[in-house]
Structure 1
């Protein structure tokens, strides 16, 4: 008996994970590769939104959630959370800003109204983008604005304005508000007359969501999410490859969510309700996560683990990953503490200039005060060799490290245990003060 006990202790101390609910039997490199290979296969056609390829991926994820015995989310009658989007593109625009003629060469309209008539500046909040200003930092947040905004863009930003014009023609949520972007050097207009007609078509999207109900704290939620969409099929590259398989971005994160769902439903030690979600439309504006966030009371969400691009080793090598917005809540510290004694470590985001905290699917919940953070290994210094396959056809499974991915997923499972059990509650993300 004494020898048996000593042997068990030796086994447990030799591997941090070996005595943790047989985690290796559920989360291992072989299973990681099986799921990853399917999600990033050519059959999924790059998982672009509004294509048959992404529907195939959604069906595969839903089938996996069913095999893992997850329950449906809320009042849903399946694992699909259906989203109605509107594709709105300007048919024509005619008018004047003071005496300056307005048309589709200098006007871009973000609206879901069939017709828009503007004859008063007082109906809009006016924002100016001056020469030398950080164009994207100012402009892109305005697409989410729940208000009417008139953006006056200096003509030095003409190339970026053209990108905005293309973006406004994409899918969006139905809204009574509009954002007008005008390329002009007039920073203090006194009048406007503008009439716009839009071509409107409805488009359907879906998140894939599964739930493990909590016990004593079932009204408190912990979310594990990743986006399953990617870029689809494009022009062939030098290797005559036209499919953007998105193995790392973000089949890797989606694989992690699927495996964590299976693991946590096996061990059943969650006092809080766990929600597993594969988000759609991250690549075209984060619409899946934005819609999902609107279905929850943010005060009930105790933490959100967003998993993005974990297929390659981090800047510190294997058995490591970073947490975006580490300093914005105590969640990172909790995860670090739960990994003490293991070979794995989580680090603060080493790329603060990239503003990664607000560039992935954690952003919407974080903006509501939820301790919602992204876990990633992606090198984002914008150097040539950092992520050579990012948004390229070469982002394929052969470029990924299955063993390291398995260790990252295990680390997320282990480090989250005191949060899902209700023992630890991360501090909230501070909300900006209202003006």
Structure 2
């Protein structure tokens, strides 16, 4: 009984603090518009466009005041892909009392690049996955301001997802998976889900109690997290969560993408004007609220069965 009262008291304090901490639609729009702009040239790996996107994310992490990851001397985690240089962008908020336990918020910042000709040549990737990276940056701002993370939070923008998941592969090989308590991978949250506004789904929902924890933390709100409605597409193994999930981490992707009818998916038309930025802002807020007991060290999701 005493433990229950303590947890209830802690959650009550967290709710009060969260009410004073905001994720603004204006900031979400600013970040999203910049990441999906034509000047990023479609953010294809090994191009000047992807480097421009990396520089932008690094500047955002610096403004927020994130620390460098492990032994890095910048926000860039460099590695080679087919003898070419590539990099993830990583920043951290060190944990207060459980610094060796990690919670990861991630998204991929690469996309498809440009066509050689045509009136519209840029694959802007506003939803795929500038929306996810926008969420990661907004969540970094949020948790820095909240300043209540007992566990270390790692914010990472992966490269190379569109060409084989090279960024998440390197990251997963460079970190001890036993130290990763949970991974919130965010992929395509700019459009309404099949249930409409204020809803999203979690891939691999049945593989751990990660989703149940998020649902419980949102109880009484207007927002709902649901199991993946597209199991035949095996989305759990098609995004950057898959590498750590294979190692036993409760690593799941949060998305709203209607994978059976998303007309702008991998199209030139995936531009910012097609997104619902109000709903997207609410999704990011709900990710923040639903994750707080994990970030705070109150809840620990069950592990995923290793592959």
Partner of 1:59: 55
Counterparts of 1:299 and 1:429, CA distance in 2? 12
1:236 positional shift: 4.5
Alignment correspondent of 2:73: 77
Does the Cα contact within 8 Å between 2:208 and 2:303 map onto a contact in 1?
yes
Match of 1:270 among 149, 159, 169: 149
Q: Return the alpha-carbon distance in structure 2 between the equivalents of residues 355 and 245 of structure 1.
A: 25
Q: Displacement, 1:215? A: 1.2
Give the CA deviation at 1:19.
6.5
Secondary structure in structure 2 of the residue aligned to 1:416: helix
Alpha-carbon shift at residue 338 of structure 1 (Å): 0.1
Asked if 2 retains the 8 angstrom alpha-carbon contact of 1:334 and 1:424, the reply is: yes
CA distance in 2, matches of 1:306, 1:314: 17
Match of 1:35 among 17, 31, 38: 31
Shift, 1:216, TM fit: 1.1
Q: Deviations over 1:286-326 (max 9, x none)?
A: 00000011111100000000000000000000000000000
Question: What is the CA-CA distance between 1:20 and the residue it aligns to?
Answer: 2.1
Say if 2:58 and 2:89, in contact at 8 Å, map to a contact too: yes
Distance (Å, rounded) in 1 between the aligned partners of 2:255 and 2:21: 21
Q: Give the alignment's Cα RMSD to 1 decimal.
A: 1.1
- Does 2:280 match 1:405? yes
What is the deviation of 1:234? 1.1
Task: Select the structure with the greater relative contact order (CA < 8 A; seq sep ≥ 6).
Answer: 2
Q: Is residue 255 of structure 1 aligned with residue 134 of structure 2? A: yes
1:430 alignment counterpart: 305
User: Following the alignment from structure 1 to structure 2, what is the Cα–Cα distance between the partners of residues 337 and 235?
Assistant: 49
Counterpart among 382, 395, 406 of residue 270 in structure 2 = 395
What is the CA–CA distance in structure 2 between the aligned matches of 1:347 and 1:28, rounded to whole Å? 24
Asked if structure 2 preserves the Cα contact closer than 8 Å seen for 1:28 and 1:403, the reply is no
Counterpart among 103, 112, 127 of residue 222 in structure 1: 103
Give the Cα–Cα distance (whole angstroms) in 1 for the partners of residues 126 and 277 of structure 2. 11
Aligned-partner Cα distance in 1 for 2:84–2:253: 28
* Cα distance between partner residues in 1 of 2:198 and 2:216: 16
TM-score, structure 2 normalization = 0.94
Give 1 or 2: higher strand fraction.
1
Post-superposition shift, 1:255? 0.2
* Displacement after TM superposition at 1:28 (Å): 1.8
Equivalent residue, structure 2, for 1:205: 86
Distance in 1 separating the partners of 2:259 and 2:21: 31
Match of 1:414 among 281, 285, 289: 289
Q: CA deviation at 1:18?
A: 8.5
Distance in 2, matches of 1:322 and 1:262, equals 24
Q: Runs of 5+ in structure 1 lacking a partner?
A: 1-16, 87-201
* Alignment size in residue pairs: 293
User: What TM-score, normalized to structure 1?
Assistant: 0.66
Superposed CA offset, 1:80-139 (max 9, x none)? 0001122xxxxxxxxxxxxxxxxxxxxxxxxxxxxxxxxxxxxxxxxxxxxxxxxxxxxx
Alignment of 1:129-168 (within 5 A): none
For residues 318-357 of structure 1, the C-alpha deviation after alignment (integer angstroms, 9 at most, x for no partner) is: 0000000000000000000000011111000000000000
